[in-house]
Each structure stands twice: as C-alpha cells, then as structure tokens.
Structure 1
Amino acid sequence: MHKSYQPLKPATNKYLQKKWDQTRYEEHRNKLSTARPIVDTKGIRTPAHVQLKLKKLQLQDERLVTIERDNRLLSSKLSDIVRSKGLVDHRNHYPERSLNAEKRRDELLQVTNQNQAIYQRITARESDYRRQLWLDDWERVVRRRDDIARYPRAVANKQKSKRRVEFAGSDSGQREKSSESNSYSDTNTDQEVEEEEEKRETEENKDTLNE
C-alpha cells in the first residue's frame, strides 16, 4: 500500500513518509477537537443585585418579624386569660323564646275555641232516638210475655228463692243460717211480686183509658 502513496514533497522512502504524514494528521485532528473557540459564546452573567434581590429579602424578614411579634402578643394574652378568671361578666340571662310563639298561641286558642263550640253543639243537640218509647215498648213486651206464659213468673221466682245451697262438710249451724236467709228472701220476693202486680194493674188501666 505504501508504494501507491504519493507524498506532497519528494521523499527517499515512501513507507516512512506515509507513517509520518499519518501521525501528523492524527495530531492535527486531536488539536482541532481540543481547541477552544476564540469567540466567547457564553451568556451574559447576571449581576449579583439582580440574583439576590436584597429589598425582597428585607421585606420578607420584616414581615416575619411582625408575624412573630403578633404571635407572641396573642400567646401572652391567651395565657393571661387562662390564668385569670376574667373581669367582664359576659353571661347573657336573656330567656330563649320563639319568634312565632304568639302566632302558635293564637292558633291553639282558635282550635280550642272551635273544639269547644263543636262540643257544645253536640251536647246541646237532643237525641233522635226516643228512649222513653223504647222503655214503654219493652215493658209492654214483658207484660205480654208474663200473660202468655204457661206458669206465672211469681211462682218461678219463689221456686228459685226456695233453693238451698249445701256445701260439703258444712255444719248444722250453717244450714240453719242458709234456711233463715232463704225464708227472708221468700218474704222479699212475695212483696216484690205484689208490687209488680199492682204496677201491672195500673198500667193496664192506663192503656184502657188511652184506647
């Protein structure tokens, strides 16, 4: 390969000349890669007063100082309040009351008056059912039942009153007491029967007069 090399200047040995040219070329390339530019392409350095902004730092420090001072004052006031009982009586004895209490009271009075009026109308109204007629009809039914009965009702009442109630293991004294009470009830039933007969006769007379 060195035989085909054409040096710029005449040389006695082409092989050595090629090697020397190659080393010089590599050195030149290294120098170009490591060379520094003559023109300064860096940006302008910002001045110190623009970077620090001393006025802003001063205002910030003053603001922090005022905040710390206010905090100390507040903490001291709070500690004084906690330690002391308080000199101002701030209790409020105002009673709680509703804004629409009067309205609700008026509505309640109106409702009670209406209810009272309804109650008065209900109690003052006479009944549509004639109770006396029902009683008279029932007495008439009872009287007719007694008239058409096979056995008189007075005899049945006497038979019921003459029954004796005997208990197991009862003494003779208790039997005598029960017989005395039965005899007393018999006399009472006789009087009741007589009164009923008198009432019946008077009612029959009234019916006949009405007819």
Structure 2
Amino acid sequence: MVHLWFLPCFFTTVILFNFLYNKLGEKITYIIVILMSILYIFIPIPKLFWGIDLSFKYMAFYAVGVSSQKILKKINVNNVNNRNNKASQSIIAIILLIINFCLSYYGLTTGIMWFITAQIGVIGVTISSLIINKNRLLEYLGKISLIILCMHGPIYRIVIKITSVILNINSDIIRTNLFYAVFIVLVTILICSAVYNIVIRTVPWMVGKKNNI
C-alpha cells in the first residue's frame, strides 16, 4: 500500500493551505507556497509524519488548482468551445502533453524542472478538460477515484494471479503484454466500481458522502 502516501499528504496540504489562505490572505499565501517550493528544491527536508515534508513539494500544485478553479468558474465554456477555439486548443494541449511526456521519458525532471514539467502537464490536461467539457465516463471515474486509489493494488495483483492460472501464462508476460494489461485494468476498474457501489450504499461516509438514512 505504498501508494497511500497520497492521502495523508493531501490531507496536510489542504489543511495547511486553507489555514494560510484564511489567516493571511491570497497573495501572502501564494508567496509562502513559492518559498516552500524553493525550500524543497534546495534544502533536504527530513521525512515527517502525515507527509508534511511532501506538502512542501505538492503545495504549489494545490495552489495552482485553487487558482485555476477560480478562473474556470468565470469562463463560459460554451463560448470558449467554438470550432476555431477547439482546433487551436487541441493543438496547444497536444504540444504541451508531448513536451511533458518527452521531458519525463528522458528524465529531464530534476530540481526545478520537476515543477516545470508537472505544470506543463497540468496546463495540458486543463485545456483538454475544457475541450471535453462533459463526459459521463470520465465523471464517473472521477467519482470512484478514491476507491480506485485505495483498492486497486491488491485487486489487480489478484486478477493477474487468477488470469495467469486460468490461461497458464507467466504473470510477467501478463504485466508486459499490452492486451493483457488493458484487460487487467478494465477488470480492476469494474471491481473497484462494484466496491464503490457497496460503500456508497452501506458506509457512504468513507468516501465523504452523507448517509441518506
């Protein structure tokens, strides 16, 4: 469950950012966030409980998300998404995502380049979301994303093991073969979806939902 580092880190990041934002205001908060990022890049921070040390690394992205949300609320997506705008936005998004992929693939992500590469990806995904606007499948996957994060590790390992036994294939082949990998991902998502529906009906508070009873 190594991937679950995200949950306490996200918790501390949200708490810290909101505390600064409410107590010190928007401008000073963003200045502090920038200083935290610079501090993380140039000064080694010891590992702390609840991922507080990682909050220095990821606070900048949460701040960008907050500011982006404010900007997007003011944008009329229907006006932005005319045919000409969609074409130019698609080209920009593709270029940004390609740059992001190339920088990551060739390992050009050390120091400040880690933040730059990530922000390029964030902008590319944000533009893509404006183009897509509404998509039921993506909205549903977003809704069950917390369950997928928490449950996918043991589930996909079990699915791989069962698949290897049934097909009499080495599990390493299943992990590296594109067709099998896609199959494993789809089955894992379906199982996580079933788990989400059980949770939402029995213990909705686990995913931040109110009990309807």
Higher RCO (C-alpha 8 Å, min separation 6): 2
**Is the pair's TM-score, using the shorter chain for normalization, greater than 0.5?**
no
For the aligned pair, the TM-score class normalised by the smaller chain equals under 0.3
TM value normalised by structure 2: 0.18
Larger of the two Rg values belongs to structure: 1
TM value normalised by structure 1: 0.18
